[in-house]
């Protein structure tokens, strides 16, 4: 059905999760109008103070970058963003998970640890409201609380080394392929855009890092936002590009944090959660190793919901396909995560997270 009205995309150029959703619209040749987030309207419609949000041509509201991409895929299946073959499908969800969770560490560090980045993003934050002080004050507050996001004197060297390794592996990959799974955009690329566009490519300090050390990544970012028409698909026979394996290995730096985060949420849910109450945004700090350094971050129930996506996709596969995925990911550091069996489960009740069944 041709569109009779555009999608209204409430997004911002320096917003982490807007960068993940934006490329899906041109990729699917959709009519879209991106506007500055109308926060009051978003809260009125969804009850949550989050963007990106999307108003569909039919007047429905979608929120949460993962839900938005799921719904776009269901409404406009061609060209697909979600592989249906086992290995590529699971890898796409794992890269999405990396982007949503682990990628926050470089995203937050390069935005909030450098005066030049803070000053620039303060202006970016101010443009929607046309109040130059508002965004700058907000930026200062965020910068002052960066330790709660895991950005500390001890963790910064590990975060920077992780970023350098990731960029190097990505450059080698994009030298050989236009997208992560081959020659077409997928959910994996969208997920990786979360840290890479709004923060690393748009913030003052990391932008220089990308420009000076990661030309192929810059080129992929531009290709994501303006996708070429001549894409020829993902690798045949459910293959993973060889150059993607080193990328996945660097991304697996975040696996211990993901595992310990789920353990903390499970433990908390076992004693504190009530089935009738939505989970809080964070349940307190938890500690985990990131490249050998102990990093403390707020444990967020949302992490469990994100992790359920690759786990559900993996569990839905027939056993022989699960084994094929395990073999393809062997040595990347991701297999432990696929074996995880969280004790609790989250679902969406409208836009909000809710425990599925009474917390045990």
DSSP label of 22:
T
| CB 181 to ligand GSH: min, Å | 21
Inter-residue contact 96 to 191 (CB < 8 Å): yes
Task: CB nearer to ligand GSH: give 65 or 102.
Answer: 65
Task: CB nearer to ligand GSH: give 20 or 177.
Answer: 20
| CB 237 to ligand GSH: min, Å | 32
| CB 51 to ligand GSH: min, Å | 5
| CB 144 to ligand GSH: min, Å | 16
> Half-sphere exposure of 140 toward its Cβ, with a 13 Å CA cutoff?
5
| CB 33 to ligand GSH: min, Å | 19
- Residues forming a β-bridge with 285: 298
Task: CB nearer to ligand GSH: give 16 or 268.
Answer: 16
| CB 327 to ligand GSH: min, Å | 31
Cα first-last separation, the chain: 45
Task: CB nearer to ligand GSH: give 52 or 310.
Answer: 52
Ramachandran region, residue 203 (left: φ > 0; alpha: ψ -120 to 50; beta: rest): beta
Pairwise CA distance, residues 44 & 291, whole Å: 42
Task: CB nearer to ligand GSH: give 7 or 50.
Answer: 50
Helical spans, DSSP H, in 63-214: 65-75, 86-100, 104-112, 115-126, 132-144, 156-176, 187-193, 204-213
Task: CB nearer to ligand GSH: give 182 or 254.
Answer: 254
Residue 259 neighbours by CB distance under 10 Å: 15
- Residue identified by tokens 């320096």 is 14
Site for ligand GSH, rule CB under 6 A: 15-17, 49-52, 64-66
| CB 267 to ligand GSH: min, Å | 23
Give how far Cα 185 sits from Cα of 226, 227, 293, Å.
11, 8, 34
Task: CB nearer to ligand GSH: give 68 or 185.
Answer: 68
| CB 2 to ligand GSH: min, Å | 28
Ramachandran region, residue 127 (left: φ > 0; alpha: ψ -120 to 50; beta: rest): alpha
In degrees, rounded to 5, the angle at the alpha carbon of residue 100 between the alpha carbons of residues 26 and 97 is: 95
Task: CB nearer to ligand GSH: give 19 or 182.
Answer: 19
């Amino acid at each position: 059905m041709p569109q009779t009205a555009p999608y209204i995309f409430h997004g911002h150029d320096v917003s982490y999760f807007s960068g993940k959703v934006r490329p899906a619209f041109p990729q699917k040749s959709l009519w879209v109008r991106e506007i500055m987030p109308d926060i009051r309207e978003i809260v009125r419609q969804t009850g949550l103070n989050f963007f990106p949000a999307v108003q569909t041509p039919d007047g429905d509201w979608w929120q949460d970058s993962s839900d938005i991409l799921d719904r776009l895929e269901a409404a406009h299946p061609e060209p697909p963003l979600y592989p249906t073959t086992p290995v590529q499908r699971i890898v796409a969800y794992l890269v999405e998970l990396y982007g949503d969770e682990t990628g926050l560490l470089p995203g937050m560090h390069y935005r909030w640890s450098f005066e030049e980045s803070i000053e620039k993003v303060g202006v970016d934050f101010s443009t929607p409201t046309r109040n130059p002080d508002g965004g700058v004050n907000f930026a200062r507050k965020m910068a002052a609380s960066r330790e709660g996001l895991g950005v500390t004197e001890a963790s910064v060297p590990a975060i920077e080394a992780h970023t350098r390794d990731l960029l190097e592996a990505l450059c080698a990959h994009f030298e050989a392929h236009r997208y992560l799974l081959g020659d077409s955009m997928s959910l994996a690329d969208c997920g990786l855009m979360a840290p890479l566009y709004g923060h690393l490519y748009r913030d003052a300090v990391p932008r220089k890092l990308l420009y000076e050390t990661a030309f192929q990544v810059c080129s992929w970012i531009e290709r994501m936002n303006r996708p070429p028409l001549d894409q020829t698909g993902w690798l045949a026979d459910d293959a993973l590009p060889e150059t993607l394996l080193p990328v996945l290995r660097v991304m697996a730096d975040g696996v211990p944090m993901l595992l310990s985060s789920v353990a903390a949420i499970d433990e908390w849910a076992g004693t504190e959660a009530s089935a009738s109450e939505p989970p809080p945004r964070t349940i307190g700090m938890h500690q985990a190793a990131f490249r050998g350094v102990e990093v403390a971050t707020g444990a967020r129930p949302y992490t469990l919901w994100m992790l359920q996506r690759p786990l559900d996709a993996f569990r839905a596969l027939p056993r022989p396909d699960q084994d094929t995925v395990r073999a393809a990911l062997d040595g990347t550091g991701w297999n432990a995560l696929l074996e995880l069996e969280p004790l609790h489960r989250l679902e969406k009740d409208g836009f909000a997270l809710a425990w599925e069944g009474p917390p045990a």
